[in-house]
Structure 1
Amino acid sequence: MERIYNAKRCPIENRLPYTKYLLAGEVMHWWSNMKMMLEDSREPITWELFKKKFYAEYFPNSVKYTKEVEFLQLMQGDMSVSEYAEKFKHLGRFQTLKMAEDWQCRKFENGLRGDLKLMVAPLSIKEFPALVEKARVMDKLKVEVEAQ
């Protein structure tokens, strides 16, 4: 939602009314109850407060921390390089520390299966898309060579 609001240059004061209009199902019921509690406490209901309450309800810290640990422990295992790269990017969003691209490459590389790591690590690739592509190519070549 925020990406859309930012792209459309939606003023902050319009974001909450637009978002409330789009709520449906369980989230709409949650917001009705939350709004009553906030009004009872006479706390001003702002876009920032809505986001804070929404994230606390639907994306609690315990979930974020679990995802971060999953990212830090991620290994390719029996996933294809493409599946591993997608999971790596998905879980990487939960990383709380700023991730430089060269660190991201080392983390990805270290999670590759041993046979691929041996082929890719000596290349010292420091750009993530190039590293993923090289790992895909090496994996494909390995399969082709083994089939001969």
Structure 2
Amino acid sequence: MKPPQFHGGLDSLKAETWVLDIEKLFEVFPCSKTQKVLLATFTLEDKARRLWMLMRENNKDIGWARFLEIFYDKYFPQCVRDRKVSEFMERKQNSMTVAEYEAKFTELARFAPHVVDTDDKKARHFEGGLRDDILEKVNVLKLETYIEVLDRAIISKANIARQATSTTGWKGSKRQGFFSKKKFSKKQNIGSSTTSNSSRDTSPMCNICSKRHRGVCYRMSRACFKCGKTGHMARECN
């Protein structure tokens, strides 16, 4: 197992990551408080190693807690840690996905251990930072553990996305149906108009009887309007 190395510098997150990785080694290789310092300082490189060599004479046989105080004062000062705590307390999901929010939450939670020192407190703090549309689907369930809240938040986000896609597709289909119906109606009206026009009498208007007909006007020949024969009127025609 290759131990993590720390080269110094002004990147506070790298310093914190190194501490976390070193403490993981302590779980596998149990050490006394002074042995922890020996193991940790053995992995220091470059500027970090040179600085420790200068400080070592005045800090012989110190324990791990005291070493962390010295280390953090140099590479992770209190003012930076306070900013991280504030960032954690104010962290909201906003436009992030649930996975992105969870990753940022986990990264910052270690700077405020007093806020998440129980699973219930961790769950409530994570839940409180969720976006409103997801929060309203999660907090009504009154879930007890952090894992349950995280799992339900992921499911709720997926459901919301699926509903949005379904609604968009339904509106598009409805709009397309509306225009298709309108187009069909317009064609139907055009057809009806054509049929109506074609059914109109196109015979010429007679100047004598003021009616449309072809051939000799019966009024002029005094013929019956029903049978076309002379000698009687239409009202007398049998």
Query: 1:128 maps to which residue?
Result: 146
Quote the offset at 1:44 in angstroms: 3.8
- Number of equivalenced pairs: 143
Would you say the 8 A contact 1:12–1:47 is kept in 2?
yes
> Counterpart of 1:26?
47
2:62 aligned with 1:46, yes or no? Answer: yes
Report if aligned partners of 2:94, 2:130 keep a CA contact under 8 Å in 1: yes
Deviation at 1:63, TM superposition (A): 1.5
Q: Post-superposition shift, 1:103?
A: 2.4
Question: What are structure 2's unaligned runs of at least 5 residues?
Answer: 1-21, 167-238
Distance 1:147 1:27, change over 3 A: same
- In the other structure, the counterpart of 2:221 is none
State the one-letter code of the partner of 2:63.
Answer: W
Rg: which structure is higher? 2
Q: CA RMSD in A?
A: 1.9
> Any stretches of 5+ residues in structure 1 without a counterpart?
none
The structural deviation recorded for 1:2 is 2.7
Q: Deviations over 1:69-94 (max 9, x none)?
A: 11110000111001111111221111
Identify if the C-alpha distance between structure 1 residues 60 and 71 changes in structure 2 by more than 3 Å, giving closer, same or farther: same
Q: State the one-letter code of the partner of 1:10.
A: C
Quote the Cα distance in structure 1 between the aligned partners of 2:126 and 2:42: 41
TM-fit CA distance, 1:66: 0.8
Closer/same/farther in 2, CA of residues 32 and 96 from structure 1, 3 Å limit: same
**TM-score, structure 2 length as denominator?**
0.55
The residue aligned with 2:157 is 139
Which letter maps to 2:30? R
CA displacement at 1:45 relative to structure 2: 4.1
Q: Which residue of 1 aligns with 2:93?
A: 76
Q: Verify the 8 A CA contact 2:120 2:144 in the aligned structure 1.
A: yes
Q: Compared with structure 1, are the counterparts of its residues 9 and 96 closer, same or farther at alpha carbon in structure 2 (3 Å cutoff)?
A: closer
Greater length-normalized contact order (CA 8 Å, ≥ 6 residues apart):
1
